């Protein structure tokens, strides 16, 4: 499922209108609508973090849907890659 679709579905489950959601994020409803329709790439990190808080979902899950590492993991990219490869190697055994 795409980032925009995940956000829209969760927002609808919580009965939060597009205008209200965009206002809480501090952006235009038109811009957010384009994100939800996958006409825009996922937004900057700050908006993903705020969207997660509003929607009550794990920030990491939204970053995964946006096909990005969370900011704290990007700061330690070498460690993340090493840990991933180690886990992947152990899983294949």
85 within domain boundaries = no
Assign 93 a pLDDT band (cuts: 50, 70, 90): low
Say what the pLDDT of residue 51 is.
98
Render pLDDT for 4-63 as a digit per residue (tens, 0 to 9).
999 999 999 999 999 999 999 999 999 999 999 999 999 999 999 999 999 999 999 999
78 within domain boundaries = no
13 within domain boundaries = yes
pTM of the model: 0.84
Q: Which domain holds residue 21?
A: 3-68
10 within domain boundaries = yes
Please count the structural domains in the chain: 1
84 within domain boundaries = no
83 within domain boundaries = no
Can you give the CATH number for the domain in which 38 is found?
Answer: 1.10.260.40
Q: Find the mean pLDDT for residues 67-73.
A: 91
Query: 24 and 17 in contact (C-beta within 8 Å)?
Result: no
79 within domain boundaries = no
73 within domain boundaries = no
């Amino acid at each position: 499922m795409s980032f925009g679709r995940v956000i829209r579905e969760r927002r609808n489950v919580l009965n939060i209108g597009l205008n209200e959601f965009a206002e809480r994020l501090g952006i235009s409803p038109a811009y957010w609508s384009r994100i939800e329709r996958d006409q825009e790439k996922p937004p900057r990190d700050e908006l993903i973090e705020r969207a997660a808080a509003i929607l009550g979902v794990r920030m990491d899950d939204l970053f995964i849907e946006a096909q990005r590492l969370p900011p704290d993991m990007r700061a330690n990219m070498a460690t993340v890659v090493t840990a991933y490869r180690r886990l992947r190697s152990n899983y294949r055994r």
